[in-house]
Structure 1
């Protein structure tokens, strides 16, 4: 098959992938550590990333988010606790254990249309793997550090999502 026809077929085939196919391919590639292939194959170039404290767009936003997560959870092992799909929507509930922090109740949601992830939300709370939530001592009476947009320089109020740690807790 000439390259032009193969390229057209490949584009049409990708657009016809179901929500489950895109979702499972995304998870497989992330487990394998192949972010670039995942972004190219499964994410819209204009993907919207929503977290508690961020509203970002594009592949660069997804790269930054993945980089911050890797910094927060070095040498991590992820477990997928639940996967749900309904029409164009997908939900992943997960936990992770790392050398630095753990996550016990992470949740990502996805909007998948035309064979690509159009929007992703990320929500989790870092818990010290030494038994102290978010790196905070229990004696100070403060709530655990919340995470939202993988930004280790900020602390967020409200529910848990990827990444905020005040610099004094790192």
Structure 2
């Protein structure tokens, strides 16, 4: 069994590598619940949809992970991203619930510039 910190670090590494499908297989429960400003989404298709929306704001996928915190089965990530010289995201915050080696719930917040 991996610790929640190990699950999140693996999730972030795979995303940094642009490997969404591998991330889904290794780190997300098939029925994961996702809450964001884009609404409520479920399952791997929900993760794909939200990743597609984020990619529309940051097509090059240039992310910086500022802080990863875990306490028990809860995790939080603060992050930012750049798109060109003037655009990007400066206030990304995701929270996670991790059970049995996978992410079972996630909230996502960010604002685009």
Normalised by the shorter chain, which TM-score bucket? over 0.9
Note the aligned Cα RMSD (angstroms). 1.2
Per the alignment, residue 45 of structure 2 pairs with 60
Per the alignment, residue 30 of structure 1 pairs with 15
Deviation at 1:40, TM superposition (A): 0.5
2:58 to 73, 79, 86: 73
In the alignment, structure 1 residue 112 sits paired with structure 2 residue 95: no
* Count of residues in Structure 1 that have an aligned counterpart in Structure 2: 112
Give the stretch that moved more between structures: 106-115 or 51-60.
Answer: 51-60
In the alignment, structure 1 residue 21 sits paired with structure 2 residue 6: yes
Deviation at 1:76, TM superposition (A): 3.5
Q: Which has the larger radius of gyration?
A: 1
Question: Where in structure 1 do 4 or more consecutive aligned residues deviate above 6 Å?
Answer: none
Q: Which runs of 5+ in 2 are unaligned?
A: none
In the alignment, structure 1 residue 43 sits paired with structure 2 residue 28: yes
Q: Which runs of 5+ in 1 are unaligned?
A: 1-15, 128-170
SS at match of 2:76: strand
Q: Which structure has more strand as a fraction of its residues?
A: 2
Deviations 1:61-82 (A, max 9, x none): 0001111111111113111111
Per the alignment, residue 111 of structure 2 pairs with 125
- Select the structure with the greater relative contact order (CA < 8 A; seq sep ≥ 6): 2
TM-score after normalising by structure 2: 0.94
Deviation at 1:53, TM superposition (A): 4.4
Q: Give the Cα–Cα distance (whole angstroms) in 1 for the partners of residues 29 and 58 of structure 2.
A: 26
Deviation at 1:51, TM superposition (A): 0.9
TM-score after normalising by structure 1: 0.63
